[in-house]
Amino acid sequence: MGQLGRIATIFFFCASGTSCGIFPGGEPEEVVDRSLSPVPISEASVETMGLAGARELSPEALDGRLTNNLDAGAATLLDTRVFNFAYDSSQILEKYNAAIEAHTRYLIKNPNAKVSLEGHTDERGSREYNLALGERRAQSLQRRLSLLGVPESQVSVITYGEERPIDLMHNEAAYAINRRVEIVYR
Amino acid sequence: MSSTRCYSSHFGWIVALIASVCTLFSFEVIAEDLVIKIEKGVSTALPIAIVPFENKTGEPLIDPAAIIRNNLERSGLFKSLPVNDMPALPSTLEDVRKKNWTSLGIENLVIGKLVKKKHGTTDIHFRLIDVYSGKQLLGYRIPVRDDDLRFGSHKVSDFIYEKLLDKPGAYTSLLAYITVDQGLDSDTVYRLQVSDSDGHNARTILQSTEPIVSPAWSPDGQRLAYVSFERNNSAIYLQDLATGRRERIIHGKGINSSPAFSGDGNKLAVTLSRDGNPEIYLYDFKSKSLTRVTRHGAIDTEPAWAPDGRGLVFTSDRGDGPQIYYHNLADNSMERITYNMGRYNTRARYSPDGRKLVLVNGAQGNYRIVLFDLQTKIYEAVTIGVLDESPSFSPNGAMIIYATVTKNGSQLAAVSADGFTKQKLVVQRGEVREPVWGPLIR
């Protein structure tokens, strides 16, 4: 029931473009019906990758694994879960080197630990291109971890493009915050 | 209770069953309408008078004349006489007095009435009259369900538009778009909605707490393809509008996005990064197989079919910044389209006649909608926004619809293809983005 195609079942009296003075009779066979059926909500998990949660994560929160082996300095470095990028760039900034090395050491020492690298962009430009740009950023970090010796099996990549901004403002400061890769421990 | 049941996460035939139950209790799916505001019109518009339709049903029904008036005005190509300025309100040919209208410079007059046929259905009678010759140009009776009077009015609008401008109207085609409700204390809710071309009759056809992006219409207007992140990665879904049945058709490692139907409806161009970086592929609905189109280490995405079906334009950053390229499917040759237009040109869509592209051009931090003539290579900005995106043509080529960021977040806007008439399509709450105009249903 309710096919959009039934739009075509409208009944005419005179062919379009012709002149006619009166409306001849005749019963319509069918009324215009174009109801759309609703659809169930998607399977989306309520669990979000909100940054607030990620920031709260301490080394202890990483399933409690190997926290004993971490000194205070390493713990602080491991707290760095967000890596920002320059406009239209997927180059990892030098200031993150120490933090990336700390994550590398942690992942190597904890072969069961798995991370997801989530690539994000600012809202400017087209969404689909930004989806690709977000992936390129995440891959850039993935490559770095791999070069440093983290097994590929421990790292996965996902891009959200501009769909998950942290800062909802539309200005340069917000854009700088939103251009990022997040390391999410699973 | 019933709404919870409706929004369960079952698939396949169960969905169809539940969906049909939902039809009976569909209070949840009625969404807030878009409100359209005209910002700028032209003085060369065609004068027309659309007299309020006589309501002979004895029931309080909406007046089709008001809807038709809004529709025609919105095109920027008509200037309708305000009801208060009308010298008379005829509803039959015999009542029309030529001088009443010619003295006001009105050449075209629309009169009509609503007549009850049987319970629940109403006939819209209308006539388009050339006042000078006194001749009727069009006269139809359109039977509709009472709750579909708006749609019947859009049908009347299409008749008038086509008769007077010799081009098809697009009022009966539908809009699809994404709304986003950024909850402060709750989850962000993404909705895929479908509305009439004037923003009314908005209905949610999918709702999720994970992003929904890139809706695309099938050429028959019965299905939408889109990208949903509901299973923690992008995947491409196909949903039937009438039944609500949906299928996850493409999902793999990396990006699964940017669906675009071929004109014959047999193929879907998509962007997949399963081989390491984003490339364009063709998905064949019959064989369910994928054919890779592009091979390049750069980003290749946002495919759009040329109306002749012989090739695709897409966005690639293989040159200096993202630019638009054309891929010829017959001989696999490639050609860069955008030159000397700055370092940011993305997401091109063809005009229905295939002569122009509409795309996003970024320069000096501003992202605007640009119209590009494929023959002359001349381009012109048709918007002056700072963050404009997702442009596409109406199916008759008369309007370009796009998303624009305002201080209230993303809203929709439309501009006539000549750039003269602008309008905003606004929702009261939340954001609305990625508008796509459905095909003409004839």
DSSP string, A91-145: PPPGGGHHHHHHHHHHHHH-TT--EEEEEE--S-S-HHHHHHHHHHHHHHHHHHH
Inter-chain touch B244–A10, beta carbons under 8 Å: no
For A146-183, the pLDDT digits (tens) are 999 999 999 999 999 999 999 988 899 999 999 999 99
Contact across the interface for B241 and A12, Cβ inside 8 Å? no
A152: nearest Cα among A94, A107, A119:
A107
DSSP state of B243: T
Amino acid A118: pLDDT: 97
Which residue of A5, A31, A42 is in closest CB contact with B144?
A31
For residue B105, the distance in angstroms to the closest alpha carbon of chain A comes to: 23
Distance from CA of B15 to the nearest CA of A (A): 7
Token pair recorded at residue B123: 């006939």
- pLDDT score for B130: 94
* CB contact burial B428-441 (16+ within 10 A = b; e otherwise): eebbbbbbbbbbbb
Q: Which of B141, B206, B241 sits opposite A42 (nearest CB)?
A: B206
With bands split at pLDDT 50, 70 and 90, how would you rate the model's confidence at B58?
confident
Q: A17 and chain B: CB distance < 8 Å anywhere?
A: yes
Stretch (H or E) spanning B321: none
Helix axes A127-147, A97-109, angle to 10 degrees: 70
Judged by CB atoms closer than 8 Å, whether chains meet at A31 and B121 is answered as yes
A41–chain B Cβ distance below 8 A for any pair? yes
- What's the whole-model pTM score? 0.83
Percent of chain B whose pLDDT exceeds 70: 90
A21: pLDDT strictly greater than 70? no
Domains of chain B and any CATH numbers: 40-165 (3.40.50.10070), 175-437 (2.120.10.30)
A23/B139 Cβ within 8 A: yes
Rounded to the nearest 5 percent, the helix, strand and coil shares of chain A are 40, 10, 50
Residue with tokens 């237009």: B341
- Residues of B within 8 A of A16 (CB-CB) are 138, 159, 162-163
Residues 6+ apart with CB under 8 A from A48: B187, B188, B209
Strands A180-185 and A155-161: unpaired
By Cβ distance, the residue of A39, A40, A168 closest to B182 is: A168
Spatial CA neighbour of B435 closest among B99, B198, B85: B198
**Which residue of B lies nearest to A118 if distances are taken between CA atoms?**
B233
Is the separation of the CB atoms in A155 and A117 below 8 Å?
Answer: yes
CB contact under 8 A, B140 and A13: yes
Distance from CA of A114 to the nearest CA of B (A): 15
Of the two residues A46 and A64, the one the predictor is more confident about is A64
Which chain B residues have a beta carbon less than 8 Å from that of A128?
A: 213-214, 257-258, 271, 301-302, 315, 346-347
Q: Burial, B325: exposed, middle or buried (Cβ in 10 Å; 0-12, 13-18, 19+)? A: buried
Distances (CA, A) of B400 to A52, A110, A129, B396: 39, 54, 20, 10
For residue B335, is pLDDT > 70? yes
Does the beta-carbon distance from A37 to B243 stay under 8 Å? yes
What would the mean pLDDT of B135-146 be, rounded to a whole number?
A: 90
Q: Does residue A102 contact residue A77 with C-beta atoms inside 8 Å? A: yes
User: What's the DSSP call for residue B397?
Assistant: S
- The one-character DSSP state at B343 is S
Can you tell me the mean pLDDT for B209-233? Answer: 96
Q: Which of A16-20, A56-60, A166-170, B357-361 has the highest mean pLDDT?
A: B357-361
Distance in Å, alpha carbon of A117 to nearest chain B alpha carbon: 12
What is the largest distance, in Å, between two alpha-carbon atoms of chain A? 93
Which range (A16-30, A45-59, B169-183) has the least confidence?
A: A45-59
pLDDT of residue B401 exceeding 50, the answer is: yes
Q: Kindly report the length of chain B.
A: 442
What is the CB neighbour count within 10 angstroms for residue A82? 18
Q: For residues B397 and B388, give the distance between their C-alpha atoms in angstroms, rounded to a whole number.
A: 19
Residue B408: band (very low, low, confident or very high) from pLDDT cuts 50, 70, 90: confident
- For B67-97, what is each residue's pLDDT tens digit? 999 999 888 889 999 999 999 999 988 899 9
Centre a 10 Å sphere on the Cβ of residue B91 and count the other Cβ atoms it contains: 20
**Chain A contacts of B7, Cβ < 8 Å?**
40-41
Question: What domains does chain A contain, in order, with CATH numbers?
Answer: 51-185 (3.30.1330.60)
Chain B residue with CA closest to A38: the answer is B205
Indicate the average pLDDT of chain B.
Answer: 88
pLDDT at B13 over 70: no
Is the CB of residue A50 less than 8 Å away from at least one CB of chain B?
no
Report d(CA A121, CA A162) in Å as an integer. Answer: 5
CB contact under 8 A, B213 and A135: no
Distances (CA, A) of B165 to A136, B46, B68: 48, 10, 15
B26 contacts: CB under 8 Å, gap ≥ 6: A37, A38
Is A72 near chain B, with CB under 8 Å?
no
Q: Look-up: residue for tokens 């002149």?
A: A19
pLDDT tens-digit readout, A79-112:
899 999 999 899 999 999 999 999 999 999 999 9
**Chain B residue nearest residue A1, CA to CA:** B242
Closest residue of chain A to B322, computed from CA coordinates: A129
CB B148 within 8 A of CB B59: no
pLDDT for B359 equals: 97
B164 SS3 class: helix
The answer to whether ipTM exceeds 0.90 is no
Minimal CA separation from A14 to chain B, in Å = 7
Q: How far is Cα A118 from Cα A140, in angstroms, rounded to an integer?
A: 11
Which member of B144, B347, B409 has the closest CB to residue A126? B347
**Which residue, among A120, A126, A159, would best test binding to B if mutated, counting the most B CBs under 10 Å from its CB?**
A126
Cross-chain Cβ contact A160/B229 below 8 Å:
yes
CA separation, residue B426 to residues A170, B260, B399 (Å): 18, 26, 17
Give me the count of residues in chain A: 186
Alpha-carbon distances of B322 from A128, A183, B159, rounded to whole Å: 12, 27, 42
CB atoms under 10 Å from CB of B292, counted, come to 12
Q: How far is CA A42 from CA B23, B188, B191, B212, B260, in A?
A: 18, 14, 10, 10, 21
Contact pairs from chain A to chain B, CB under 8 Å: 234
Which of A22, A39, A126 has its CB closest to that of B244? A39
> What amino acid is encoded at B174 in this protein?
L
pLDDT at B127 over 90: yes
Q: Output the CA–CA distances (angstroms, integers) from residue B259 to A69, A111, A181, B48, B217, in the order listed.
A: 48, 38, 25, 41, 9
Locate the chain A residue with the closest alpha carbon to B172.
Answer: A7
